[in-house]
Amino acid sequence: MRHQPGVLIVEDEPAIAELIAVNLRHNGFQPTWAMDSATAQRELDAVLPDVILLDWMLPGESGLSLAKRWRANPRTKSVPIIMLTARGDEGDRVAGLDAGADDYIAKPFSTKELLARVRAVLRRRAPEQVGGVVSIGALSLDASTYRVSFNDQMLKLGPTEFKLLHYLMKHAERVHSRSQLLDKVWGDHVFIEERTVDVHVKRLREALGANAGQMIETVRGAGYRLTAQSALAAPSQVSV
């Protein structure tokens, strides 16, 4: 029997939650609804979903706070989170992404768009199973075991950061524009904005640490490049 991906809907408005749940169910997903942070935590403690749809404004603990907490917990760290909110300006989108969300969708939204985003984060969650081990300098990535190490020290990366690093390592020393990265890493997910790439690159650098993080260079006016020669790069070419 085909697996039905589980989706935890954390939304305090019953009408919106029901609309989302019905559409998910009709498209092969298994939705669970939690109307506040306490209920959401109980659901997560019981069963890990494949995706979390998380409303920003909740009674009690906010969705932003929940996202930060779940990202800090090893058990829930890699579960994709899509923020749902009426807050639509860039500052709020960036805050949601910085809190650990993989994507962000502002209300009102179409159910087709929501389904496309859910499918997109599920595609990104699965690591590429081809190519085996890729090594650049002291940085090593094993796609088959979902492990990344630097100087033999294991590193913890989220699903989107893993796929982004995998792509950059397979195409090391090349400069990739934000639009190219969107196409190659995010695929046909047309709703993602280029600013999202910057947020995930920042998160990837933080996950890699001070030394390995320097291997990802910002090439002004062009995009990003992963290089083993970052220590030798001119300061004007590199932005942390």
79 lies in some domain: yes
60 φψ region: left (φ > 0), alpha (ψ -120 to 50), beta (else): left
1 lies in some domain: no
Same domain, 90 and 137: no
Q: What is the CATH number of the domain that holds 177?
A: 1.10.10.10
Same domain, 85 and 118: yes
Mean pLDDT to the nearest integer, 93-105: 78
In this predicted structure, the answer to whether residue 217 has a pLDDT above a threshold of 90 is: yes
First-to-last C-alpha distance (Å) of the chain: 47
Same domain, 15 and 119: yes
Same domain, 24 and 83: yes
Report residue 210 as tokens.
């001070």
In this predicted structure, the answer to whether residue 155 has a pLDDT above a threshold of 80 is: yes
Q: How confident is the model at residue 168 (pLDDT cuts 50, 70, 90)?
A: very high
Domain boundary pick from 125, 143, 162: 125
Domain boundary pick from 74, 104, 125: 125
- Alpha carbon distances (Å) from 107 to 86, 99, 114: 5, 19, 10
Report residue 67 as tokens.
């996202």
Q: How confident is the model at residue 235 (pLDDT cuts 50, 70, 90)?
A: very low
Same domain, 100 and 147: no
Percentage with pLDDT > 70 across the chain: 85
Rounded Cα–Cα distance for residues 62 and 12 (Å): 11
Q: What average pLDDT does the chain have?
A: 83
Q: What is the CATH number of the domain that holds 35?
A: 3.40.50.2300
Mean pLDDT to the nearest integer, 141-166: 89
Same domain, 137 and 37: no
33 lies in some domain: yes
Domain boundary pick from 125, 159, 186: 125
In this predicted structure, the answer to whether residue 86 has a pLDDT above a threshold of 80 is: no
Rounded Cα–Cα distance for residues 134 and 213 (Å): 17
Q: Is-cis flag, bond preceding 108, omega within 30? A: yes
pLDDT of residue 24: 93
pLDDT of residue 64: 86
Rounded Cα–Cα distance for residues 50 and 151 (Å): 32
User: Three-class SS of residue 166?
Assistant: helix
Q: Which structural domain range is residue 65 located in?
A: 6-125
The two beta strands, 6-10 and 30-34, are parallel
Same domain, 17 and 120: yes
206 lies in some domain: yes
Contact 36, 58 (CB under 8 A): yes
Mean pLDDT to the nearest integer, 30-43: 92
Considering only 40-44, 198-202, 233-237, which range has the smallest mean pLDDT? 233-237
Number of domains in the chain: 2
Contact 25, 33 (CB under 8 A): no
Considering only 8-22, 54-68, 181-195, which range has the smallest mean pLDDT? 181-195
pLDDT of residue 240: 36
Same domain, 71 and 112: yes
pLDDT of residue 212: 92
199 lies in some domain: yes
In this predicted structure, the answer to whether residue 231 has a pLDDT above a threshold of 80 is: no
Q: How confident is the model at residue 159 (pLDDT cuts 50, 70, 90)?
A: confident
178 lies in some domain: yes
Same domain, 147 and 217: yes
169 lies in some domain: yes
Contact 16, 35 (CB under 8 A): no
Rounded Cα–Cα distance for residues 240 and 225 (Å): 13
Same domain, 117 and 169: no
Same domain, 108 and 18: yes
140 lies in some domain: yes
Same domain, 156 and 56: no
